[in-house]
Structure 1
Amino acid sequence: MERWIGYAMVSMVFAGATAVVAKLGLNGISSELGLAVRTSVVFLIVIATAAVLVPRAELQSLTAANVGWLALSGVLAAVSWIFYYKAVQLGEVSTVALIDKGSVVIALLLAVVVLGEQLNVAKVAGGILIVAGLVVIARG
């Protein structure tokens, strides 16, 4: 198995657990406060990880384009998290998490249009199955 697949699988497990743990943490507080606490912890862990793992010389290779695109990614993630936490607070985690995974289809389409990645039968079939799952959830 290629290393990136292993990383993606670990990410999947932790991301799946995140929603359930967040729902427990939102008990009695607003989703906005919960997200602020969570994001603060994420910030501290990511900064500590970068401080340990990123060679100092790499900072010189950081460009304005890198910062701009990553900043936009951060804005998009923040907006996503704001709505995700509100949905988790008000709805069932099992349903919210399934709907949220529709983001895979958005990422697939944007990867093709923006990045020029190639579609294949497996990706198209997977995307169709995800959309079909969203339709089932919406009608359920």
Structure 2
Amino acid sequence: MWFVFALLSAVFAALTSILAKVGITGVNSNLATAIRTMVVLVMAWGMVFLTNTQGGITAISKKSWLFLILSGLATGASWLCYYRALQIGDASRV
């Protein structure tokens, strides 16, 4: 089953580059990243509530909180750099 999710991840990642390159035309890369982040935020919390797993938030350890926050910061930095690179470079090369 993991293979299916890994394959879908690769497909969606490829679509991300194509869709973002078209969508970022004439838009500041930081603004585009913020818009994308809002969509991901709504989608992620939607899945949490759809699967009724929001109650597990209180069981998260301090260590997990720390590493999830650090991972989020790294993701944000990655997306900011990615969108800037995508704005000034060819999507196929980025």
1:60, distance to aligned residue in structure 2 (A): 3.3
Call closer, same or farther: CA 1:65–1:59 in 2, change over 3 Å: same
For residue 35 of structure 1, the aligned residue among 33, 37, 51 is: 33
Alpha-carbon separation, structure 1, partners of 2:52 and 2:62: 18
How far apart, CA to CA, are the structure 2 residues paired with 1:44 and 1:55? 15
CA positional deviation for 1:70: 0.5
TM-score, normalising length: structure 1: 0.64
Q: 1:56 to 1:76 in 2, by over 3 A?
A: closer
Percent identical: 33
Instruction: State yes or no: 1:51 paired with 2:49.
Output: yes
Give the whole-Å Cα distance in 2 for the aligned partners of 1:5 and 1:31.
33
Using the alignment, how far apart are the partners of 2:27 and 2:92 within structure 1? 20
Query: Which protein shows a greater Rg?
Result: 1
**Structure 1: gaps spanning 5 or more residues:** 97-140
**Match of residue 8 from structure 1:** 6
* Greater relative contact order (Cα < 8 A, sep 6+): 2
TM-score, structure 2 normalization = 0.93
Q: CA RMSD in A?
A: 1.2
Distance 1:37 1:59 in 2: 25
Matched, 1:81 2:79: yes
The ranges of structure 1 where at least 4 consecutive aligned residues each deviate by more than 4 angstroms after the TM superposition are none
- CA separation of 1:56 and 1:37: change in aligned 2, threshold 3 A: closer
Structure 2 segments unaligned to the other structure (5+ residues): none
- The count of corresponding residues between Structure 1 and Structure 2 is 94
C-alpha distance after superposition, 1:82-111 (max 9, x if no partner): 010000000001011xxxxxxxxxxxxxxx
Q: Is the 8 A contact 2:30 2:83 kept in 1?
A: yes
What is the alpha-carbon distance in structure 2 between the residues aligned to residue 7 and residue 39 of structure 1?
21
1:122 matched residue in structure 2 = none
